[in-house]
């Protein structure tokens, strides 16, 4: 397994739509494993392939992680992958405070469907169905499926909030780039 760099918005690659995977082969399973490792390393509960620069319909999730006193997440028992997910049913509304690994340290309330049914292919290549209602799981599925369509949670916010967050992300990206250059110079 290998860690993959998580893109930070407003990277234009995050706005590209992902493509259908179809057959789950060794390369897709490798991507699944890399994404899980990258998600856990970043203390996330979900990650979509476009966030690591791969434009395929692949999502990894684990909403059953536990958090210790220091705020560090630890692997849970709920790790699974959604490949080529399709929302088959959605109704009612549910508002949840969302964050995103591609928009670090930013959190805002987003209203989504409360009750969903999603059909997807698992890492093993078998088609499955998942149902969730008014939970982190229902929010996470929709949040990550948005990434597959080139949409981020900030696209659900007002233009003003989105612009303020974009400025902070540009500043963060510049700081990270300066740090990388400083580390390279020190070597």
Number of folded domains in the chain? 1
Task: Please report, for the domain that includes residue 164, its CATH number.
Answer: 3.90.45.10
Domain that holds residue 123: 12-186
Are 117 and 185 in contact by the 8 Å Cβ rule? The answer is no
- Which range (29-38, 63-72, 115-124, 129-138) has the least confidence? 63-72
- Judge whether 59 lies within some domain: yes
pLDDT of residue 66: 63
- Judge whether 167 lies within some domain: yes
CA angle 122, 143, 150 (to 5 degrees): 95
Percent of the chain surpassing pLDDT 70: 91
- Judge whether 77 lies within some domain: yes
pLDDT tens for each residue of 82-95: 999 999 999 999 99
Half-sphere exposure of 2 (CA within 13 A, CB side): 6
CA angle 174, 51, 129 (to 5 degrees): 160
- Among 93, 144, 163, 177, the one annotated catalytic: 144
- Judge whether 2 lies within some domain: no
- Judge whether 49 lies within some domain: yes
> Would the pLDDT of 187 be above 60?
no
- Judge whether 169 lies within some domain: yes
Structure tokens belonging to residue 159: 């233009």
User: Catalytic annotation on 41?
Assistant: no
Are 121 and 83 in contact by the 8 Å Cβ rule? The answer is yes
């Amino acid at each position: 397994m290998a860690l993959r760099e998580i893109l930070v918005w407003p990277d234009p690659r995050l706005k590209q739509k992902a493509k259908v995977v179809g057959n789950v082969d060794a390369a897709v399973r490798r991507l699944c494993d890399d994404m899980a490792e990258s998600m856990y390393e970043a203390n996330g509960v979900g990650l979509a392939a476009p966030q690591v620069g791969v434009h395929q319909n692949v999502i990894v999730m684990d909403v059953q992680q536990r958090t210790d006193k220091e705020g560090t997440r630890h692997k849970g028992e709920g790790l699974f992958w959604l490949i080529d997910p399709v929302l088959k049913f959605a109704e009612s509304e549910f508002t949840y405070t969302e964050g995103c690994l591609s928009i670090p340290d930013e959190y805002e309330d987003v209203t989504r469907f409360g009750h969903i049914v999603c059909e997807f292919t698992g890492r093993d290549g078998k088609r499955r169905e998942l149902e969730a209602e008014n939970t982190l799981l229902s929010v996470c599925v929709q949040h990550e499926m948005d990434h597959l369509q080139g949409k981020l949670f900030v696209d659900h916010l007002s233009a003003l909030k989105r612009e303020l967050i974009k400025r902070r992300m540009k500043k963060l990206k510049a700081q990270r780039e300066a740090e990388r250059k400083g580390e390279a110079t020190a070597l």
